[in-house]
Amino acid sequence: MGREHLTNDEFFTQLGNLFELNRKKGHGSIILTQKRLTYDSTSTPPTPTKVADDPLWDTHPENPLPILIRACNNKSSKREGTDRDDVEKIALSTIVKPDDLDGFFARYAEACKTGMSGLKKRDRKKGKKGKKDKKKGAAGETKA
């Protein structure tokens, strides 16, 4: 793909916008992809080099490899009789270095949690009642 990769920070702001757009629209999808980045344009040999003798050549590379993260929305086109409108496809991508992986995914999880607001919330009423009972029971047990 010809487009340039964003930095991790930019990626998160753009991802936030993407979720926001989706929320405003009321429907639509967000697609997130992650994969190993095996081809690096800056260094000459693609890492790791394929070894003909070893069929499992890619299972044990010498160095940790970066990960490519992509995000996009769905393109939609105007349709009469519905509230569908022309929406351009927005595609984002970023590269996560192996060292930043844990930090990135912590932020990623937060971004997804806030962005995916359409999913079903937990049933609060039911949950609370159960929890209280449990807590009382647990407290009694520990005391006794």
Q: Counting Cβ atoms within 10 Å, is residue 94 exposed (0-12), middle (13-18) or buried (19+)?
A: buried
* Residue 16 contacts another protein per CB under 8 A: no
CB of 46 to another protein, least distance (A): 10
Number of residues that bind another protein (CB under 8 A): 49
Between CA 75 and CA 25 the distance in angstroms is 13
Q: Which of 31, 49, 51, 75 binds another protein (CB under 8 A)?
A: 31
Q: Distances in Å between the alpha carbon of 134 and those of 59, 72, 122, 123?
A: 46, 43, 17, 17
Binding range to another protein, per CB under 8 A, among 4-12, 54-62, 85-93? 54-62
Binding range to another protein, per CB under 8 A, among 7-15, 86-94, 123-131? 123-131
CA torsion, ordered 62, 57, 66, 70, to nearest 10 deg: 180
Q: Which of 26, 45, 81, 140 binds another protein (CB under 8 A)?
A: 26
Q: Does the N-terminal peptide bond of residue 48 adopt cis geometry, omega within 30 degrees of 0? A: yes
Between CA 144 and CA 4 the distance in angstroms is 63
Of 86, 87, 93, residue with least CA distance to 73: 87
Of residues 59 through 118, those in contact with another protein by CB under 8 A are 59-61, 63-67, 96, 98, 101-102, 104-106, 108-109, 112-113, 115-118
* Residue 130 contacts another protein per CB under 8 A: yes
Positions touching another protein (CB under 8 A) are 22, 26-36, 38, 58-61, 63-67, 96, 98, 101-102, 104-106, 108-109, 112-113, 115-123, 125-127, 129-131, 134
